[in-house]
């Protein structure tokens, strides 16, 4: 078991104390809880709010098909109230760039030195980049990943199966998920390989 964390840049078009609207390029399932972060130019700190996706529709934005997503603000992350920290945005003329972070639980099916196969309760767009976190026996392993394929798995409690590749951002470490997979595959710790 693990969790995959995927973040995407969004354009915030409306924000008040109870709701927000964003333009996104990737899917955000209806009803999912996500984290919306908006930089505050005055304090140079990002303000984060826990939100739930309410509805989504396709819109034509700058000649491209995008998703306009309505969000309901359901909580904060320890920073001051929205009304105190951010001015309300109602159909702003200039773009306010923010970020949306999703955390999706995954069940690892197979792991190799180059990637893994996992099942999830919600889909992730092919090409999405993020981090998978796995905790086992008091150990925490994180690995950068890219979603290669997503398909529907019929008749499963985890209805989406995804093929994922590990992204090489750092040298192979025995503490990483990729390092553990390499040791299992070869039987030789990476530090001892020729």
> With contact defined as beta carbons under 8 Å apart, do 180 and 116 qualify?
no
The pLDDT of residue 80: 44
Min mean pLDDT across 15-29, 83-97, 155-169, 179-193 is at 83-97
Q: What is the pLDDT of residue 91?
A: 47
**Selected residue with higher pLDDT from 27 and 149:** 149
Could you give all domains of the chain from N- to C-terminal order, each with its CATH number? 2-102 (2.40.30), 104-188 (2.40.10.220)
What pLDDT score was predicted for residue 43?
62
Which comes out higher in pLDDT, residue 153 or 53?
Answer: 53
Mean pLDDT, the chain, integer: 84
In sequence order, the β-bridge partners of residue 107 are 119
Q: With beta carbons less than 8 A apart as the criterion, state whether 13 and 24 touch.
A: no
The pLDDT of residue 90 is above 70:
no
In terms of pLDDT, which residue wins out, 6 or 136? 6
pLDDT tens for residues 134-193? 988 888 888 999 999 999 988 878 999 999 999 987 777 777 777 777 777 777 654 544
| pTM score | 0.77
pLDDT at 82 over 50: no
DSSP assignment of 91-147 equals S-SS-EEEEEEEEEEEEEEEE-SSEEEEEESS---TT-EEEEEEEETTEEEEEEEEE
């Amino acid at each position: 078991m693990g969790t995959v964390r995927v973040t995407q840049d969004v354009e915030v078009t409306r924000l008040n104390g109870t709701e927000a609207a964003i333009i996104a390029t990737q899917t955000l399932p209806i009803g999912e809880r996500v984290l919306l972060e908006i930089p505050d130019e005055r304090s140079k700190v990002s303000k984060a709010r826990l939100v739930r996706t309410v509805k989504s529709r396709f819109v034509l934005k700058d000649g491209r098909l995008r998703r306009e997503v309505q969000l309901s603000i359901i909580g904060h992350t320890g920073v001051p109230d929205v009304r105190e920290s951010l001015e309300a945005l109602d159909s702003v003329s200039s773009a306010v760039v923010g970020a949306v972070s999703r955390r999706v639980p995954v069940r690892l099916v197979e792991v190799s030195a180059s990637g893994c196969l996992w099942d999830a309760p919600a889909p992730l767009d092919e090409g999405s980049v993020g981090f998978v976190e796995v905790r086992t026996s008091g150990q925490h392993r994180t690995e950068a990943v890219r979603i290669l394929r997503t398909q529907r798995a019929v008749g499963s409690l985890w209805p989406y199966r995804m093929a994922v590749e590990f992204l090489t951002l750092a040298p192979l470490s025995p503490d990483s998920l990729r390092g553990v997979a390499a040791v299992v595959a070869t039987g030789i710790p990476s530090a001892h390989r020729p």
